[in-house]
Amino acid sequence: MWHAERPRGTVIICHGFKGFAKWGFFPLLAETLARGGVSAITFNFSGSGIGTDGESFTEENAFFANSYSCELADLSLVEKEAERRQWLGANYGLFGHSRGGGIAILHSA
């Protein structure tokens, strides 16, 4: 979670296929959003294959069992937990890269 000092909203960031929360531009995007007043939530889909260190591909069985349904369920859990922690206000949105974008669209539909 990247907390903005005076948040005007929150964005949940969904990584793509074979990606993970700490991959590529996601940390920079989250940091930039937070500096600009928008809190950001990053997470790893449970079927991404990423292990407990948050960066290494160690969960091959989870990766092979992954599906759109699993990722939609993961996103719903993240959203519910963010609501429980009062991280989501009236203004929040989803950002997804590649397959994560598809998941964000399906979740919003």
Dihedral of CA atoms 30, 32, 37, 40 in degrees, nearest 10, equals 0
> Does a structural domain hold residue 68?
yes
Three-state DSSP state, 35: helix
pTM given for the model: 0.93
> Does a structural domain hold residue 106?
no
User: Do residues 13 and 25 touch, judged by C-beta distance below 8 A?
Assistant: no
pLDDT by residue for the chain (109 residues), tens only, comes to 999 999 999 999 999 999 999 999 999 999 999 999 999 999 999 999 888 888 899 999 999 999 999 999 999 999 999 999 999 988 899 999 999 999 999 999 9
Domain count along the chain? 1
Instruction: Residue 54: give the domain boundaries.
Output: 9-15+27-98
User: Do residues 45 and 66 touch, judged by C-beta distance below 8 A?
Assistant: yes
> Does a structural domain hold residue 46?
yes
> Does a structural domain hold residue 4?
no
> Does a structural domain hold residue 21?
no
> Does a structural domain hold residue 107?
no
> Does a structural domain hold residue 49?
yes
